[in-house]
Amino acid sequence: MADSFIKRGVPSTINYSQMTLYGGFELAYNLTGDDKYASWYRSQIDELVLSDGTIKGWDYGKYSLDNYRMGNNLIYWYEKTGETKYKSAASVIRQQIDRHPRTATGGFWHRNPEYPNQMWLDGIFMADSFYAKWTKSFDDKNTTAWDDIAVQYDNIEAHTRNTTTGLLLHGYDESKVAVWADPVTGASPLVWNRAVGWYFMSLLEVIPLWPATHPARERLIGYFTTLATALKKAQDDSGGWWLIMTDKYVGAEGNYIESSGSAMFTFGFLKGIRLGLLDRDEYLAPAKKGYSLLVDKFVVEKDDGTVDWEGTVEVGSLNSNATFEYYISVPLAVNDYKGAGPFMYASYEVETV
């Protein structure tokens, strides 16, 4: 998959989609030791990071959690090379987090000014994994920072977790004024698979970084394991997961097994086993069933030796009415980085489980 993206080319932008894909290149390099993966990946990042450590075209007045995902990739290159420009660029994002607008309870707005007082599961992956990575790497004794990161997860759990199914709704509006907001909880109405996938993956990123003595660590592990239980129950007989996972729509006309969420959950099971968070006897078989579906259904071998990744929905946004009809109306994309990246993560875990 990495070779295929190198051959096709990937536009170098700060978009979280590319940054998600680049995580797959880190794993391809880890697995093979082949410098071509590292050098291509670094060249992509170096198109964005100037020699003085600023980020090309960075808008200091734009507060969008999506843009913060890049910080993880920058820290990766700082740790790998020791070049200060990467840390300096990451510090630009870290400082932006300090200025980011918040809800009354301390949660980061998903984007300002478009989504005031809204928290989405997506944003946890975009911002809080980096926030934790920065804190672990450069500010580990800052208990206030760890507390603040925990608030983001606690808010999401308090407002979007369905305690009956164990799954999480796409997001919530703390002011309860969005067209889709529940008048009591502020939550959006449906479980969208990729949003849950972003959240699931972020928990796997932050738990290994979390200070052992910090009280939120056990809560985060509980958030992950209870979600894993719910996802195992929600897995389709095919091995995949439905785009909309809310019970009443599973199997409904227009709903379908979607590839990015299926890859994220498969990866999450496998890495959860490796980290000792999930029981191997309980989760390995569902994970392998999921991975077989990914390969058989969504990976397409081409005559030129490349492979395509299919079946990934382009987007799912709460800049909508958040109805079932909205989510299923969004087109599918070929070689979408948001699906191919998690498939690469799952592939790495399959090789090492």
Task: Name residue 91's amino acid.
Answer: S
Residue 22: predicted pLDDT: 99
Q: What is the mean pLDDT of residues 246-251?
A: 98
What is the reported pLDDT for 349? 98
**pLDDT tens per residue across span 129-145:** 999 999 999 999 999 99
Query: Tell me, what's the pLDDT at 74?
Result: 99
Give 40-90 pLDDT, tens digit per residue: 999 999 999 999 999 999 999 999 999 999 999 999 999 999 999 999 999
Quick: pLDDT tens for 183-229.
Answer: 999 999 999 999 999 999 999 999 999 999 999 999 999 999 999 99
> Residue 2: its pLDDT value, please?
98
Would you say the pTM of this structure is higher than 0.85? yes
The pLDDT > 90 percentage for the chain reads: 100
Band (pLDDT 50/70/90 cuts) for residue 163 is very high
Mean pLDDT on 230-239: 98
CATH second-level architecture of 2-352? Alpha/alpha barrel (1.50)
Predicted confidence at residue 104, as pLDDT, reads: 98
Q: Where are the domains of the chain?
A: 2-352
